[in-house]
């Protein structure tokens, strides 16, 4: 699985990592989690159930070749609170994940559909 950070995501990451120092490492941990969820394995179905059924992530757009997913991002600097969200686009045919948005829930209540639509 390949990962890419969009220019907008990089700006969000830079801005928010000034407040939350652990954020770059937290994004790396999210990449490992996403790889586990979407990599073909014996336990893929179990990983996906836990990922989506426990309200850890929500599919915003689903079609044959692309999924847009909003996920809760665990930020160690915040403790156990779930105040950060990451939005990514998964292209199923090429196993490419592009992170398009990162935001704090106290600054912004919802994702920006314009950002992820550009990657569909």
Q: What is the pLDDT of residue 42?
A: 78
The pLDDT value recorded for residue 64 is 92
Residues in a beta bridge with 85 = 72, 103
Q: 82 pLDDT exceeds 60?
A: no
pLDDT (mean) for 66-95: 87
Q: How many domains does the chain have?
A: 1
Structural domain that includes position 88: 2-117
- More confident call, 54 vs 110: 110
């Amino acid at each position: 699985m390949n990962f890419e950070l969009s220019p907008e995501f990089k700006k969000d990451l830079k801005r928010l990592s000034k407040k939350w120092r652990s954020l770059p490492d937290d994004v790396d941990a999210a990449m490992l989690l996403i790889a586990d969820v979407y990599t073909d394995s014996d336990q893929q179905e179990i990983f996906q159930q836990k990922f989506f059924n426990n309200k850890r992530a929500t599919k915003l757009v689903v079609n044959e070749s692309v999924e847009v997913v909003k996920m809760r991002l665990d930020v160690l600097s915040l403790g156990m609170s779930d105040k950060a969200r990451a939005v990514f686009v998964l292209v199923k045919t090429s196993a490419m994940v592009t992170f398009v948005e990162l935001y704090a829930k106290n600054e912004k209540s919802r994702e920006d559909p314009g950002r992820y639509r550009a990657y569909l």
